[in-house]
Structure 1
Amino acid sequence: MAPRKQGSLEDWIHAFCRESARRGHQVDVWLHEPMLPSFVTELKASGARVDDLAEFERSGLLSMTRQLAAHDVIHLNFLAPRSSIAMAAYAAWPTQVLYTAHSDLIDKEESVVRRGLRWVVNQATMVRVHSLAGVSEHVRAKEGRRFGLHPHRSRTLFNGVDTRRFHPRARPRPGEKVELITIANLVQSKGVHHLLGALGRLRSPRGRLRVVGDGPEQQSLRVLAVQLGLQHQTEFLGLRNDVQDLLGASDICIQPALVEAFGLTVAEAMACGCAVVASRVGGIPELIQHGRTGLLVEPGDEAGFAAALECLLEDPVSRFRLGAAARQRACEAFELSSTVRRHVDWCEEAAGYAPRARVRRPPASLLSNAYLLQPETAG
């Protein structure tokens, strides 16, 4: 991914580099352009070396392999397991290779022969992978089956949220419009068209929706909002660097995705004390306990989303109760400093470091594209 903004994924890689440096390691990071200058500046300040991934790939397989072989651990992150850089990583023997799965892949209908061939290729792909991490248990189990991994070679490492940056803020007083928000890459699979359809069904006009993010579906969503008569209560904000402020001042966050590996925006909204209404899909049920830390609706069920929103629009007490429980859940399960420590532990384990006691520290600040861990004490 290209770090075009300040956000949780960007926070993650900053925190990872800082924690690695604290333990005496050197991290090299390969990223796609465009890179937000402030993000790169902060990354370099942590001691990381930063390079352009596209330029690295253009150097050719042999050159990539030589450079990667200088590292102890290669972490393939937001990269396809059979991309050119992945092939170079596998060739960089004896460097250990880690792979993180972020995607809730949709199973394709295939013939028995093609499915069998894919199974063989998938298993062969993982021969050089030390272990795989899924950003949710749903993804870990699914990718483990896909690649034929024994359970001991996979684990779940949740994405993390900086709960000091994502926290509740002053919200509108009772009687004012209820602030609704959705944050998404505006593509079909994020289901924002279903959210607009649900808003068109509401009896109450009290909610105002802000759509944060950009993507190929943005213009068609604007047209749909007009067609449904929602143009006066729907605002398209585009890509933003102040998501934490927008979430902190929102009452209800809606995540209507049709597929979702983890649901990072859900975790961010929970940390901000929002009442969350989300699809019961992928890894989201691992974040939200229905009726306690949020409300879950079947993906694509516009009537179900409308009913859940209608209930929360009319009941500020329920909104507050769900938001408070969501904040507690986020702090306990998705705090950034804790998830980053577990991730660096994983890298050290792959490099052969013996486990050692960790000193608990206050939260730090989340992930990008590919990074490589090289302990300075290694040969």
Structure 2
Amino acid sequence: MKVAIVCPYALDHMGGVQSHARQLTAELLARGVDAWLVGPGREPSKATEFQVGGGFRVSANGSRVPIALSPLVGRRLLARAEEADVVHVHEPWIPIAGWAAQLTAKPTILTFHADPANLIRRAYGHSAWLLARLANRSKAVTVVSRTAASAIAPFAPHPVIIPNGVEVNPMAGRARRSQSAVFVGRDEDRKGLKVLLRAWPQVRAKFPNARLTVLTSRTQPMMEGVEVLVGADDPTKLERLASSAVFVAPNLGGESFGITVAEAMAAGCAVVASDIPAFADLLGGAGRLVVPGDSVGLAATLSGLFEDEDRLANMAASSSE
């Protein structure tokens, strides 16, 4: 069987959907399926990943998302999709890749990831009849979480919930640096990096040797005890997750799953995350939840964990189970 996996977000930018699509492609290949990934992007194509042209960032859902709007990109993407027996389209309503992929005559599977803003949710409700007709043409409609399912309920009331899967980090058993934390995410307001950077000096005031590693998309102002890695590759991300004691997800909202949180759990990190529905569902009591945007509370939680290594070890064990 030949499977084309379509990602509407540019593959030459970091993001949760891109990461999931790559991991899914790799897992299908490992199981003997002839699979490939196709989406926007300007990097050279590989044997199993085709970047069919660049685009630009647009503001959506509190983020700057990299998508393509050129019809030429859509035609190239559709040509790659048509070579498959089955086409798996992620975020099918995102232009232009998501739209183009649904023009194929091949069987399609639609997967929705987002927790969209209220404006988009209202638009879904007003156009439910049309979106339902489009969704009903597919063989299956899936979502990554209950949060994502609630967003598409107006036109797909009974999707199959399949959480994003991640591989267990092969370095998960290595020794971790004490009083260390790591953040992974784009430098956007809703990812909460600014909240964490406001909290960190408070942590350092109590623990002068504490270290924070930030894997993000843009350089940050120099701070004591903070290492910033811009555009880090997957092996570097896995190594930093495996060597850090705590993963911090200070997101302010707009998340439907939290694939970086799942990757941190698979690496055996203790997790401190914002108390938003997607993260609470994913952690299921295995981490510590803090009020979104509260840098003082975040600093207090991190300091409390650094003070109690037994509790930190128990949290790490719970997150990896």
Q: TM-score range by the shorter chain?
A: 0.7 to 0.9
- Select the residue among 288, 299, 306 that pairs with 2:292: 299
Call closer, same or farther: CA 1:109–1:306 in 2, change over 3 Å: same
Deviation (angstroms), 1:59: 4.4
- 1:336-361 deviations in whole A, cap 9, x for unaligned? xxxxxxxxxxxxxxxxxxxxxxxxxx
1:72 aligns with 2:85: yes
RMSD: 3.1
Q: Give the conservation status (yes or no) of the 8 Å contact 1:4–1:35.
A: no
Who is 2:314 aligned against?
A: 321
Name the residue aligned to 1:132: 141
Matches within 5 A, 1:8-157: 9=20, 10-19=22-31, 22=32, 25-35=33-43, 40=46, 44=47, 48=48, 50-54=49-53, 58-59=71-72, 68-69=81-82, 71-77=84-90, 79-81=91-93, 83-93=95-105, 95-108=106-119, 117-139=126-148, 141-146=149-154, 148-151=155-158, 154-157=159-162
SS at match of 1:321: helix
TM-score by length of 1: 0.67
Partner of 1:246: 240
Matches within 5 A, 1:205-244: 205-206=207-208, 207-215=210-218, 218-219=219-220, 222=221, 231-241=223-233, 242-244=236-238
Letter in 2 for 1:322: M
CA distance in 1, matches of 2:192, 2:80: 41
Q: How many residues get paired?
A: 289
State the distance in 2 between where 1:109 and 1:90 align.
Answer: 20
Cα distance per residue 1:165-221 (max 9 Å; x no partner): 25131123xxxx611111111111101111122224445134221111214xx44xx
Structure 2: 5+ residue runs without aligned partners? 1-9, 55-67
* Structure exhibiting the larger radius of gyration computed from Cα positions: 1
Q: How has the CA–CA distance of structure 1 residues 170 and 127 changed in structure 2, closer, same or farther, with 3 Å as cutoff?
A: same
* 2:52–2:77 Cα contact (<8 Å) kept: no
Q: In structure 1, which of residues 162, 166, 169 is the aligned counterpart of residue 167 of structure 2?
A: 162
Distance (Å, rounded) in 2 between the aligned partners of 1:165 and 1:36? 28
CA distance in 1, matches of 2:228, 2:73: 41
TM-score by length of 2: 0.77
Contact 2:124/2:152, CA 8 A, preserved across alignment = no
Correspondences of 1:167-316 after superposition (within 5 Å): 167-172=172-177, 178-202=179-203, 203-206=205-208, 207-215=210-218, 218-219=219-220, 222=221, 231-241=223-233, 242-259=236-253, 260-290=255-285, 293-316=286-309
Choose between structure 1 and 2: higher helix proportion: 1
Q: Report what 1:345 is aligned to.
A: none
Percentage of pairs with the same residue: 23
- The CA distance in 1 between the partners of 2:194 and 2:116, in whole Å, is 21
Q: Higher strand share goes to which structure? A: 2
